[in-house]
A and B are shown apart, each in its own frame.
Chain A
Amino acid sequence: MSILGWFAKRDRIVSRKKAGEQSRLNIPSDLWVKCFSCDATLYLKELEHNHKVCSECQYHFRLSPEERLAYFFDPESFVEHYDDIKPTDFLNFTDTHSYESRIVASQKKTQRADAAVVGTAKIEGLSVNVGLMDFAFMGGSMGCVVGEKIALITEMAIENKHPLVVFTSSGGARMQEGIMSLMQMAKTSGALAKLSEACIPYICVLCDPTTGGTSASFGMLGDVTLAEPGALISFAGPRVIEQTIRQKLPPGFQRAEFLLENGMVDRVVHRKEMRSTVAGLVRVLGGGQ
Chain B
Amino acid sequence: MSEHRPKPMAFEAPIADLEEKIESLKALSEQGEMNLTDEIANIESRAHELKKDIYSNLSPADIIQIARHPDRPNSLFLANTIFDQFLELHGDRLYKDDPSIVSGVATMGKQRLVFIGHQKGSNTKENLYRNFGMPHPEGYRKALRMMRLADKFSLPIVSFIDTPGAYPGLEAEQRGQAEAIATNLKYMVTVSVPIVSFVIGEGGSGGALGIGVANRLYMLQHAVYSVISPEGCASILFKDASKAPFAAENLKITAKDIVELGIADGILDEPLGGAHYDPEVMAQTIKATIERDLNALGKQSPESLKAERYTKFRQFGAFE
Contacts and interface: CB of A to CB of B under 8 A. Distances in A.
25 contacts: A95-B237, A96-B238, A145-B317, A145-B319, A148-B317, A173-B205, A175-B228, A175-B233, A178-B226, A178-B227, A178-B251, A182-B209, A183-B263, A189-B189, A190-B310, A191-B314, A216-B177, A216-B206, A217-B206, A218-B182, A234-B173, A234-B178, A235-B177, A244-B167, A253-B173
Interface string B284-320: 0000000000000000000000000010011011111
Interface string A172-195: 010101111111111101111110
Nearest to A171: B236
Contacts of B210: 216
Contacts, number: 185
A184 B179 contact: no
Q: Which 6 A-B pairs have the closest CB atoms?
A: A236-B168, A144-B317, A189-B185, A95-B237, A215-B178, A235-B177
Interface of B: 166-170, 172-179, 181-183, 185-190, 205-206, 209-210, 213, 225-228, 232-233, 236-238, 247, 250-253, 257-258, 261, 263, 310, 313-314, 316-320
Contacts of A264: 176, 179
A186 to B, nearest CB: 4
Contacts of B313: 183, 186-187, 190
B206 A182 contact: yes
Contacts of B237: 95-96, 175
Interface residues of A, number: 60
A220 B213 contact: no
Interface in A196-232: 196-197, 212-213, 215-221
B240 to A, nearest CB: 9
Given A96-B237, A96-B238, A219 B178 contact: yes
B244 to A, nearest CB: 12
A4 B213 CA distance: 40
A264 B178 CA distance: 10
B182 A95 contact: no
Given A179-B252, A182-B209, 6 more contacts: A90-B318, A96-B238, A147-B317, A148-B319, A184-B317, A221-B182
Given A179-B263, A185-B185, A186-B185, A91 B250 contact: yes
Contacts of A55: none
Contacts of A181: 227
A256 to B, nearest CB: 13
B185 A217 contact: yes
A274 to B, nearest CB: 22
Nearest to B203: A179
A252 to B, nearest CB: 12
A96 B235 CA distance: 12
Contact of A245 (B170, B185, B236, B238): B170
B186 A221 contact: yes
A3 interface: no
Contact of B238 (A88, A95, A213): A95
A151 interface: yes
Given A179-B253, A241-B168, A88 B320 contact: yes
Contacts of A254: 173
